[in-house]
Chains A and B, each alone.
Chain A
């Protein structure tokens, strides 16, 4: 009889512990789930708050906001065309330089570099990716811009002055700062992103594929051109889009060297502005609801552009992951 009671007590005790364990498990599960959903909420929160903040501008100017070049805080007339133009052109210049160089570095690291140098160089290039953008900005302002102004831009202007078409693109006094300099600084910033992703995806090429084409007598370049790059095309494109997303949204590096001029000049040596540079420079000084709202509307446009580019990048990269797994 006594033994039976003891056992009964034990069962009650056990079930309490068991229930407590289940409760903790439930709590933990919902806690982590809530945190996961919070991550999702951040993105939607950003979207909604920017839409709300930009609403007065879109209601006042409508589509004119996207097509107008005027930016006049005094008369409260705002148009986003000049910053959008600056963002697109600086990123275009940056990608023009960064894609060949970045992919070239990846080729060098995966195919040519002696083994003992591969890791140090790869690490050095990744460190370049980790340097905060404000460092690139201050360097661009104090070192690169004066150098370009004195030694490179006069030469470019003279060289292209006789070429029809290009003389417009490289016209005007050498300011040092401007669209071209900003594009160059962005290129230096984006190169490490493109090269480290390209290197990673190049390494996913099965050795068998490369070995078979070497066995057929291909040169190294032919193997890269006809085997490695076609196999990893989606991944490289993903890396390029990721770099583009960086370049489009980069703030500090550009703000230092762009010159902050709200106009579209034909020459890429002239000062201009980008979306992020405009926001960074003017937001704290913006007076009036419409001015602030215009800057938030610029942020909204930037958000939509970068979201699209980054979404494409991730889609491309995930396609490659599916292929390799």
Chain B
């Protein structure tokens, strides 16, 4: 009997610990989000979206970094998505059993979680040094390199889910392979592929490290891709570490904006996949 009670007690202790672990994890989520909302909302007003970043000690907004971030993100998606989709297509359709595909899958998975600051260093070496100055274009290329692995991964996964019978049916009707891929496989995998792009956008909209020495920063209005460009995460970094309380307040507000955008994008992506599975 003693042995049984000991086993039961041990069971209770370990299961209790695991419930504790879950409570611990959720506690941090709640704490971080509530502090963020609390601190961010107090500085939220229309002027945040309509005014430029201020000099220390005066009021202002985050208009130029918001616009800069939007430009960088759009450009990165425009550069990265086609490359990612094509690479994923090769892996799933043309070279499904190639050695090359296995190698690329391995490398891509590593790129997926590689430190983003290294991407920044790489782009600095290949773009900023030859051009001679920091530029928005370099920032967009750096972000595109983070987009690519995410899109490759989801495109390949989603294309692999498309039933082969659909491809065979189209081929039997005489359609060449590119036609089968673009009209049948892409169409069947579309939701999943869009999800991948959304996840990639969510991922890059908060990235700071690769922008620090590619797009740099700019206190002024700038839409020139050939010049340093402001971005929300870099401005948050700079403002949060400054001693001025106005800047710190703007940093919190900017952090709230980014978080809302990222969480919103991930939720849309999640809703899309949930619907896709249900169909």
A residues near B (Cβ < 8 Å) are: 21-22, 24-25, 27-29, 31-40, 42-43, 45-46, 49-50, 52-53, 100-105, 107-109, 111-113, 121, 123-128, 130-139, 141-143, 188, 191-192, 195, 219-222, 224-225, 242, 245-246, 248-252, 255-256, 276, 279-280, 283-284, 295-296, 299, 302-303, 306-307, 310-311, 314
Question: Bound state CA distance, A35 and B87, in angstroms?
Answer: 5
Residues on A with beta carbons closer than 8 Å to the beta carbon of B216: 284
Contact of B233 among A31, A121, A132, A295 (CB under 8 A): A132
- Chain A CB within 10 Å, residue with most, of B15, B28, B86, B148: B28
Asked if B75 is at the interface (CB within 8 A of a chain A CB), the reply is no
Are B11 and A105 neighbours in the complex by a CB distance under 8 Å? Answer: no
- Asked if A127 and B263 sit within 8 Å, CB to CB, the answer is yes
In contact, B266 and A130 (Cβ under 8 angstroms): yes
Q: Would you mind naming 7 contact pairs between A and B with Cβ atoms under 8 Å apart?
A: A39-B111, A46-B114, A130-B203, A131-B263, A142-B240, A276-B209, A284-B213
Say what secondary structure dominates the interface of chain B.
helix
Stretch in B42-50, B51-59, B101-109, B219-227 with 4+ CB within 8 Å of A: B101-109
Q: Write out the residue numbers on chain B whose beta carbons fall within 8 Å of the beta carbon of A121.
A: 22, 26
Known: A121-B22, A276-B115. A219 touches B107 (CB 8 A): no
Chain A residue numbers with a CB within 8 Å of B266 are 126-127, 130
**Looking at A35, A113, A299, which has the most chain B CB atoms within 10 Å of its CB?**
A35
User: Are B21 and A222 closer than 8 Å at their CB atoms?
Assistant: no
State the Cβ distance, A316 to closest chain B Cβ, in Å: 12
**A191: chain B residues within 8 A (beta carbon):** 25, 28
Taking a contact as CB atoms closer than 8 A, the residue among B39, B122, B205, B207 that contacts A46 in the complex is B122
The reply to whether B113 and A252 contact each other, CB–CB distance below 8 Å, is no
Please tell me if the beta carbons of A40 and B83 are within 8 angstroms of each other in the complex. Answer: no
For residue A31, which residues in chain B have a CB less than 8 angstroms away from its CB? 86
| Shortest Cβ distance from residue B43 to the other chain A in the assembled complex, whole angstroms | 13
Closest Cβ neighbor of A191 among chain B residues: B25
A225 to B17, CA, bound (A): 14
Task: Pick out which of these stretches binds chain A: B60-68, B162-170, B251-259.
Answer: B251-259
Asked if residues A46 and B119 are in contact (CB atoms below 8 Å), the reply is yes
Give chain B nearest CB distance to A173 CB in angstroms: 21
Shortest Cβ distance from residue A4 to the other chain B in the assembled complex, whole angstroms? 25
Partner of B22, one of A109, A134, A284: A109
A252 touches B121 (CB 8 A): no
- Per CB-CB distance, the 7 closest pairs between chain A and chain B, nearest first, are A132-B206, A249-B115, A104-B21, A35-B86, A32-B90, A219-B11, A28-B178
B97 at the interface (CB under 8 A from A): no
The complex places the Cα of A9 from the Cα of B242 at a distance, in Å, of 78
CA separation between A251 and B116, bound complex, in Å?
8
Known: A24-B178, A131-B262. A101 touches B113 (CB 8 A): no
